[in-house]
């Protein structure tokens, strides 16, 4: 259905968010770097389409050894290739560039197989298929990246040839789908959550669909639909659902929130002083610091709110660190300052295990205090997300356990709305901007303020969650009515 909308109503597509734009930018950057591997390559225009196609035909007829962004059209299909390399015998090698660190099946293979179908139909003979992706072993030496060594090239000819017949068979169905006048009648499912046509597509869909249950999967929704269960009202007994979906179902259908009494007991018993901790980090595809590898995580900021004990009426104490020296590896000072700051904490509260994973990475990279920090968080850490997921559910969570949904439900007074940086993904982009040599000192100062404000609110929000859950009625309680 999404595909049909793409063809017939592209104008309904939601605008790309900053997140998506950032990934596209990375993709382009990687693409340009990959082209540098072939200094003799010729970059072809890719719009408008007729110009792109004619330029490609002219280049094929010429003698350029390597073509970038060659465009093809055949049998109603269009494809563009990152890199085409001419072989001595008149055949071609098709090279697809991906910005990840490994071949991802089946996505990458199908992507190339589709191009292969179009190119073959257009009369090209392709000898082999390769996928270029980043090499995790590459260590940045400062200065410009070495385009030859930063990439790994994998021969995927076998997998592509295997995939072509299956994909070609599917294409008939796809053509028929594209040609039909009305949108196909697919039932809403979990994957609708991040579809860029959701707003238009779902405007007439009645609420109450099973796919709204947090954690339910595509297959379960289909299976239940085949038994005639389409919406929550069709369910007559919670036993019809898998154990993980039962709590949310009972809460929604009974309009009663459930707070796990065990959760409150655990929160009451956390030994003080209790620290609420949050990190910000970048995972840059292209390493920013000497010795770093593609996608190696670089934590650059932490925030910590500390209360002396569970029942303390005192104001929480706030400490933080933000790395501002662009010439130094942020991880060193990050770890050293954090280790100092958490010394007196007997509990460390965080939301999802991102913090633990990040410290594990510091440990494995041999960063001083990385091992100590990882051991400490393993010993005294408390994952608030893990503690509530599937065990506590309120109607006001609206189908998600993300802190963006849970926080306003538990404590509506704490809000990210007035911030310049409202979420982690933006924090990452803003820090990349900070690192950029072209950024002005004034902008840098503003970025520092925004990042500190954001990260501070993140840990304050966790403290608010902690207090909010402790104050909640354990067990079943009437859902709060909010408008």
Partner DNA sequence: CAGTCGCGCCCGTGTGCATA
Partner DNA sequence: TATGCACACGGGCGCGACTG
Name which of 339 and 354 has its Cβ closer to DNA: 354
As a whole number of angstroms, the distance between CA 393 and CA 395 comes to 7
Instruction: Please answer whether residues 345 and 311 qualify as being in contact, where contact means their C-beta atoms are separated by less than 8 angstroms.
Output: no
Q: What is the chain's alpha carbon radius of gyration, rounded to the nearest angstrom?
A: 27
Query: What minimum distance in Å lies between the beta carbon of 283 and DNA?
Result: 5
Name which of 300 and 369 has its Cβ closer to DNA: 300
Which of positions 32-91 make contact with DNA (CB under 7 A)? Answer: none
> 3-state DSSP call for residue 166?
helix
Contact between 99 and DNA per CB under 7 A? yes
Q: What's the per-residue H, E or C state across 322-336? A: ECCCCCCCHHHHHHH
What contacts 3, CB < 8 A, 6 or more positions away? 174, 177, 178
Identify the CA nearest to 45 among candidates 35, 58, 55, 36: 55
Contact between 31 and DNA per CB under 7 A? no
DSSP letter assigned to residue 271:
P
Contact between 219 and DNA per CB under 7 A? yes
* 240, 357, 439, 453: which one binds DNA (CB under 7 A): 357
Distance of CA 62 to the CA centre of its chain: 42
Query: What minimum distance in Å lies between the beta carbon of 424 and DNA?
Result: 3
* Longest CA–CA separation in the chain, Å: 80
Binding region for DNA (CB under 7 A) out of 10-18, 47-55, 119-127, 212-220: 212-220
* Per-residue binding letters, 304-333, with DNA (x by CB under 7 A): ------------------------------
Bond before 273 cis per omega within 30 degrees: yes
Name which of 121 and 385 has its Cβ closer to DNA: 385
Contact between 476 and DNA per CB under 7 A? no
Indicate the helix (H) or strand (E) that contains 127. strand 126-134
Binding region for DNA (CB under 7 A) out of 171-179, 210-218, 228-236, 340-348: 210-218
* 135, 196, 234, 353: which one binds DNA (CB under 7 A): 353
Q: In the structure encoding, which two tokens stand for residue 31, read together? A: 């693409």
Query: What minimum distance in Å lies between the beta carbon of 98 and DNA?
Result: 6
Tokens 């796809």 sit on residue: 174
Query: What minimum distance in Å lies between the beta carbon of 385 and DNA?
Result: 6
How do strand 347-350 and strand 317-322 relate by DSSP bridges? unpaired
Task: State the alpha helices, DSSP H only, in 227-302.
Answer: 243-254, 261-269
* 244, 324, 439, 467: which one binds DNA (CB under 7 A): 244
Contact between 279 and DNA per CB under 7 A? yes
* 177, 390, 396, 443: which one binds DNA (CB under 7 A): 390
Name which of 122 and 275 has its Cβ closer to DNA: 275
Distance of CA 174 to the CA centre of its chain: 28
Instruction: Please answer whether residues 408 and 465 qualify as being in contact, where contact means their C-beta atoms are separated by less than 8 angstroms.
Output: no
Query: What minimum distance in Å lies between the beta carbon of 295 and DNA?
Result: 4
Binding region for DNA (CB under 7 A) out of 72-80, 154-162, 278-286, 410-418: 278-286
Instruction: Please answer whether residues 397 and 214 qualify as being in contact, where contact means their C-beta atoms are separated by less than 8 angstroms.
Output: yes
Binding region for DNA (CB under 7 A) out of 52-60, 273-281, 366-374, 433-441: 273-281
Contact between 404 and DNA per CB under 7 A? yes
What contacts 204, CB < 8 A, 6 or more positions away? none
How do strand 126-134 and strand 151-155 relate by DSSP bridges? antiparallel
> 3-state DSSP call for residue 202?
coil
Binding region for DNA (CB under 7 A) out of 150-158, 213-221, 312-320, 469-477: 213-221
Identify the CA nearest to 406 among candidates 360, 327, 344, 472: 472
* 69, 278, 320, 450: which one binds DNA (CB under 7 A): 278
As a whole number of angstroms, the distance between CA 412 and CA 297 comes to 33
* Per-residue binding letters, 127-146, with DNA (x by CB under 7 A): ---------x----------
Name which of 72 and 393 has its Cβ closer to DNA: 393
Binding region for DNA (CB under 7 A) out of 44-52, 98-106, 368-376, 410-418: 98-106
Interface residue list for DNA (CB under 7 A): 23, 26-27, 98-102, 104, 136, 190-191, 193, 214-220, 223, 242-244, 278-281, 283, 285, 295, 351-354, 357, 360, 385-386, 390, 400-405, 423-425, 427-428, 458
């Amino acid at each position: 259905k999404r595909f049909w909308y793409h063809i017939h109503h592209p104008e309904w597509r939601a605008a790309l968010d900053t997140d998506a734009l950032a990934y596209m930018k990375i993709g382009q950057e990687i693409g340009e770097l990959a082209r540098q591997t072939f200094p003799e390559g010729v970059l072809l225009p890719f719009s408008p389409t007729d110009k792109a196609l004619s330029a490609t035909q002219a280049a094929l007829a010429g003698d350029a050894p390597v073509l970038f962004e060659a465009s093809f059209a055949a049998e109603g299909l269009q494809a563009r290739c990152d890199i085409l390399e001419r072989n001595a015998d008149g055949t071609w090698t098709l090279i697809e560039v991906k910005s990840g660190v490994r071949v991802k099946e089946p996505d990458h293979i199908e992507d190339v197989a589709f191009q292969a179908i179009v190119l073959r139909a257009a009369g090209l003979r392709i000898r082999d298929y390769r996928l270029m992706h980043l090499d995790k072993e590459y260590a940045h030496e400062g200065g410009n990246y070495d385009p030859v060594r930063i990439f790994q090239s994998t021969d995927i000819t076998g997998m592509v040839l295997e995939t072509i017949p299956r994909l070609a068979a599917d294409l008939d169905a796809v053509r028929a789908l594209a040609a039909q006048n009305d949108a196909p009648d697919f039932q809403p499912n979990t994957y609708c959550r991040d579809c860029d046509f959701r707003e238009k597509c779902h405007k007439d869909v009645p609420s109450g669909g099973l796919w709204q249950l947090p954690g339910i999967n595509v297959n379960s929704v289909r299976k239940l639909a085949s038994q005639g269960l389409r919406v929550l009202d069709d369910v007559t007994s919670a036993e019809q659902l898998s154990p993980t979906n039962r709590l949310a179902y009972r809460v929604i259908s009974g309009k009663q929130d459930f707070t796990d009494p065990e959760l409150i007991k655990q929160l009451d018993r956390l030994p003080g002083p209790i620290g609420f901790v949050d990190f910000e980090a970048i995972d840059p595809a292209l390493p920013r610091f000497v010795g770093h590898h593609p996608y190696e995580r670089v934590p650059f900021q932490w925030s910590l709110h500390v209360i002396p004990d569970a029942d303390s009426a005192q104001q929480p104490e706030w400490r933080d660190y933000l790395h501002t020296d662009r010439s130094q590896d942020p991880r060193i000072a990050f770890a050293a300052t954090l280790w100092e700051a958490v010394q007196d904490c007997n509990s460390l509260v965080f939301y999802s295990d991102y913090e633990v994973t990040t410290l594990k990475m510091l440990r494995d990279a041999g960063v001083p205090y990385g091992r100590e920090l990882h051991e400490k968080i393993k010993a005294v850490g408390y994952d608030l997300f893990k503690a509530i997921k599937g065990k506590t559910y309120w109607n006001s969570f609206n189908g998600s356990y993300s802190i963006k949904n849970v926080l306003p439900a538990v404590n509506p007074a704490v809000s990210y709305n007035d911030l310049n940086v409202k979420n982690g993904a933006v924090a990452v982009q803003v820090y990349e901007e900070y690192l950029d040599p072209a950024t002005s000192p004034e902008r840098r100062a503003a970025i520092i303020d925004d990042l500190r404000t954001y990260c501070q609110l993140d840990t304050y929000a966790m403290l608010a969650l902690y207090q909010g859950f402790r104050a909640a009625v354990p067990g079943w309680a009437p859902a709060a009515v909010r408008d």
